[in-house]
Amino acid sequence: MLEKTTRMNYLYDFYNTLLTPKQQSYMSLYYLDDFSLGEIAEEYEVSRQAVYDNIKRTEAMLEEYEGKLSLLQKFQERSGLIKQLKTMLQEETPSKQAMLDVIAELENLE
């Protein structure tokens, strides 16, 4: 499991289009721009608690989407396979069959 902030940044990246504009604003200020809950509350003229509740709910929604669509997990798996291919291509004479095997794994991930 990635460190929480990193994970939320990734999940936000994959699923932000499914959030409301307000959820997007709070999450983006909190996770991308590193605002504090107090600063966001001041900016939007709401209570710190309201911002906190909204962000907690949004985090749970992002985890729920990941539970259903696994976009982050598949991204990580694809990245690993792509890295393998690049490593193979650095060899003097890469094995074509080994590369085809990795490509087949990439296809099966879909």
Q: How far is the CB of 2 from its own copies (least distance, A)?
A: 16
Residue ranges of alpha helices (H) inside 1-110 are: 4-15, 21-27, 37-44, 48-69, 71-89, 96-108
Q: Which two tokens stand for residue 79?
A: 């990245």
Return the residue matching tokens 């959820």.
23
26, 48 in Cβ contact below 8 A?
no
Kindly determine how many residues on this chain lie close enough to bind its own copies according to the rule CB under 8 A.
Answer: 23
Q: Closest CB to its own copies among 17 and 21?
A: 17
Examine residue 79 and tell whether it contacts its own copies (CB under 8 A): yes
Residues that bind its own copies (CB under 8 A): 14-15, 17-18, 65, 68-69, 71, 75, 78-79, 82, 85-86, 89, 94, 96, 99-100, 103, 106-107, 110
